[in-house]
Amino acid sequence: MKIAYIFPGQGAQYPGMGQDLYDQSEQARAMFSRANDILGFCITDIMFAGTEDELKQTKVTQPAIFLHSVIMSTMLGNQFRPDMVAGHSLGEFSALVACKALSFEDGLVLVSKRARAMQKACEAEPSTMAAVLGLDDVVVEEICKSACDVVVTANYNCPGQLVISGAVNAVDEACEKLKEAGARRAMRLPVGGAFHSPLMESAHVALEQAINETIFVQPVCPVYQNVTAQAVIDPVQIKTNLVAQLTAPVRWTQSVINMIADGATDFIEVGPGKVLQGLVKKTNEEVNVSSFEFNV
């Protein structure tokens, strides 16, 4: 039996997130306080008492989810014994900190820079994403290729559930073609830009230098990174994949399949929400999925 710990990405946030961790753990309070200092604003105020709209700001959302996940994994203490880890998009940064490839402080700085760079890229050009249900990957890929402008497959979430990303007109055009091809659903998501597409190139450039200047070390277990869906332990390769992640698709389905092929029988989601558990089950019904519940 092997245990895979998985870390959620943007979209898992909710008002009040992290308040329970803060209330119950001195260690959590210290980490939240350190985060406020690093970020230069009180993210805890927004996480614990902010509105849903305030929490949706990219500069808040990404560090908030990162903090929730990393603090929770830290509080696991000796219970945290991963045979492998993976994170969905932003969650890859949480996974890298949890398996000690990256320090908490450096991870938070990179996540904050990533969020701001992505927000800037979103503002530079109208772009969006759309969920597509009920079609084979290859059908979605081919329709994206035929669109009038930039649109690509951005997330392979589970079999029959993909997300496309690109210019607004191209995404709308692709959605119509996908419906004609038999998609059960093809509709825009309430996001501010085309994540994991070529339209994130400016963010990619901005983040590359920061990642390359950051110290990464060999993790305590393999990390299945989004770009390749393969197990990685080499710090140089980890950096390369992390840089590529912003403009490349999230190969979550392939990552789960590969983790199972390498022996994973139990998947434990660490962080807000339970989205990843559902995606794992839709990929393979036979594995066990759960989330970490913190009690003192």
For residue 70, report the phi and psi dihedrals to the nearest 5 degrees.
Answer: -70, -40
Tokens coding 276: 């990843």
47 neighbors 19 (Cβ within 8 angstroms): yes
Q: Which of 196, 197, 204, 255 is catalytic?
A: 196
SS3 of 186, please?
Answer: strand
126 DSSP assignment: -
Active site residue 196: yes
Is the torsion defined by CA of 136, 137, 140, 145 positive or negative?
negative
Neighbours of 150 (CB within 10 A): 18
SS3 of 202, please?
Answer: helix
Give me the residues paired with residue 164 across strands. Answer: 130, 153
153 DSSP assignment: E
Q: 127-133 and 231-232: which strand pairing?
A: unpaired
Q: Which of 25, 89, 94, 112 is catalytic?
A: 89
Active site residue 89: yes
221 neighbors 232 (Cβ within 8 angstroms): no
* Catalytic sites, residue numbers: 89, 196
